[in-house]
Chain A
Amino acid sequence: MTSRPAPDPVFAFELNGETVTVSAPAHHTLLELLRYRQGLTGTKQGCDKGDCGACTVLLDGSPVLSCLTLAVTVAGRAVTTIEGLGAEHRRAEGRPHPVQEAFDRSGALQCGFCQPGMLLSSAALLRKNPSPTADEVRAALSGNLCRCTGYAQIIEAVLRAAAVERGEDPPAPAWSIEPRDEEP
């Protein structure tokens, strides 16, 4: 006996600052909804089972894994993806988010696949703790795997973003052999 599947649930949630009403099958994840229904491919699909952190998004401001979140459970809540992180800041302050600028400045990426998740975890950390230590940065990013950089530049970038936001000089790059000219 097979009955007709129930119609897809329809629900509303806040996506990058705007209320959207969507329909998604009950068995779809937030990651599937974002990438394949909303077309927001900035959120990456990595391991798809909670190990890698590439699919990290902010749910009510806190980093969560969209591959392990059922889409229907975000009804009425606020989701920020990498598309929203930069856009919100650019609208408000006319420039990318400080962690985005810092990742660029510090060369904190190679292939870039982990970067959306890294940026969102970093942004959430700095919102909660504007003056993190390097160990606090490591702990906050411990759920985001990067297979290229070796993490040194990523941690430096987050410390740089924090320093810039506090109006201080950014820390010297940990990996540089020769002292180098600072940017003007």
Chain B
Amino acid sequence: MLRMPRFEVSCPESLPEALALLAESELDTRVMAGGTDLLVALKNRLEVPQRVVSLARVGGLDHVTEQEGSLAIGARVTLAQLGASDLVRRLAPALGEAARSVASPQVRQVATIGGNALLSTRCRYYNQSHFWRKALGFCLKKDGTLCHVVEGGKKCVAAASGDTAPALLTLGARVTLESQHGVRALPLLDLYRNDGIANTVLRPDELLTELVVPAQRPGHRGAYEKLRVREAIDYPLLGVAVRLDVDPDSAVVTDVDVVLTALQAKPRRVARIDSLIVGVPIHGEAFEAAAAQLGLRARDQCHPVANVPGDPEYRRKLVPVLVRRALLRAAGAA
């Protein structure tokens, strides 16, 4: 049995009460919403806090509401709720697909969008038991000074592994962070840092309380493709989210966005792709050719390392495949 280290649990009843607990700095504190990620980290001694603050009884964080095409999503909305939401299906289809692809039904039942957006980076040398890590002399991300992925590496290369982040990034989502010192809203992209050890700018006294997906253009389409060994349970070995804006009258692509995950600490937006696909009608061979070209351009910008399971060269070869699949599915051609 993987026993957890001893800690105390606080169950605040309101947001101000939760923020007050986080503002006290005497105890090393971790926030728990669904707990599906935190409890495994505790069992593996990746986190050894003195106190866990549970958000289970904090109200006002579990809404999914629409206002003029814009979606507001409370941070404690579960992935099961998000995956089943008709609003999400209609306004942000890639987000719904990503939420439904996370882990297993039991995990999605309690795991939250806030927790998934703030998921710590993962690595085959980090997400292991204390015994396993100790036998290898630990690693850069926790307890050690060596990187086992990049020989002589001084920078942690653990990979962003949340499925919803790439989808949210293609949708231009913003996040609201609250503390006793006030509220700040920032683009989701600015929440993330390309540092495997500290991959977000969230302060210890802050809570992520809401995500906002702005109104998309008419003709918005999206899809999320995920590479993994099994069709359930697994974290992504590669994740591809696409947004395709299509002119409703002419069926021609007007804008495109592709974000990849599970490569490095921060999800990665593929650059210089507009010229390959904007202006192409979504029905027909030209679109298929453009999608294939776009996949190759994405691959040329990716250099997977052996941070998550799966051969890095295989993951690189699958980049164009998944990008093409996601684009064709978003276009409704596959």
Contacts and interface: CB of A to CB of B under 8 A. Distances in A.
A24 to B, nearest CB: 11
Contact of A9 (B9, B42, B104): B9
A127 to B, nearest CB: 14
B40 interface: yes
Given A26-B7, A48-B2, A142-B104, A73 B109 contact: no
A142 B231 contact: yes
Given A70-B54, A143-B103, A27 B6 contact: yes
Given A26-B9, A27-B7, A143 B2 contact: no
B54 A73 contact: yes
A67 B107 CA distance: 11
B11 interface: yes
Contacts of A49: 2, 40, 43-44
Interface residues of A, number: 34
Interface stretch (A57-65, A86-94, A106-114): A57-65
Given A29-B39, A32-B1, A68-B35, A63 B54 contact: no
Contacts of A140: 105
A5 interface: yes
A43 B126 CA distance: 29
Contacts of A59: 109-110
Given A63-B109, A121-B106, A142-B104, A69 B35 contact: yes
A98 interface: no
Contacts of B202: none
B11 A68 contact: no
A139 B107 contact: no
B36 A50 contact: yes
A174 interface: no
B148 to A, nearest CB: 21
B8 interface: yes
Contacts of B103: 50, 143
A67 B35 CA distance: 10
A28 B39 CA distance: 10
A123 to B, nearest CB: 13
B1 to A, nearest CB: 6
A6 interface: yes
B233 interface: yes
Given A27-B5, A70-B9, A143 B105 contact: yes
Interface of B: 1-9, 11, 32, 35-36, 39-40, 42-44, 52, 54, 56, 103-107, 109-110, 231-233
16 contacts: A26-B8, A27-B3, A27-B6, A27-B9, A32-B1, A48-B43, A49-B2, A50-B39, A53-B106, A68-B35, A68-B40, A70-B9, A73-B11, A121-B106, A142-B231, A143-B107
Interface of A: 5-6, 9, 25-29, 32, 45, 48-51, 53, 56, 59, 62-65, 67-70, 72-73, 121, 139-140, 142-145
